[in-house]
Amino acid sequence: MLNLSKRIVVAIDGSPPSDKAAEEAVRLTLAGSTEHFKGLLSAVIVRPAKDDPVLHDLYPGRGGQLTEWKSRQERIFYVVDRAAAEAGIQLRKEVLYGEVGEQLLQFSEREDCDLIVVGSSGKGRLRRALQGSVSTRIALNARCSVYVVR
């Protein structure tokens, strides 16, 4: 059966490039939606594996950090929440734990996404050559299309 709905995932971290990517992802999801076929946008935050809430159970003194993280998470999702609500599109929010590029690639495959939208890091050539770039890694390894927003 032909699947006309579009599944788009956008990586966000609260930075200006990721906010721009979130707004662009909303526009792309809206462009692929019709009255009968709605696109689905997933906004994903990837945190280091050491921040996984399961690990906080082992260290009870870290409860304040978890509360602080919930507040920060709301601020990070704010731009994509607002844009999706204004456009009237369905938004799914996820927080994953691990290495950013790897988690986004696994999520996009697991959810059978049609497009991954990421913001450009803005790193210079030398810094990108030394540290690598999440957007480059995703573009080179994704099984679906990748849109890098500058």
Backbone angles phi, psi at 53, to 5 degrees: -55, -30
Q: How many domains does the chain have?
A: 1
**Digit-coded pLDDT (tens) for 104-146:** 999 999 999 999 999 987 555 555 554 568 888 999 999 999 9
**Digit-coded pLDDT (tens) for 79-105:** 999 999 999 999 999 999 999 999 999
User: Domain span at residue 100?
Assistant: 7-149
Q: Which helix (H) or strand (E) holds 59?
A: none
CATH number for the domain that contains residue 132: 3.40.50.620
Q: Give me the residue label for tokens 């049609």.
A: 114
Q: Is residue 2 part of a domain?
A: no
Paired strand residues for 146: 116
Nearest of 139, 148, 115 to residue 39 by alpha carbon: 115
pTM of the entire predicted model = 0.84
Do residues 20 and 149 touch, judged by C-beta distance below 8 A? yes
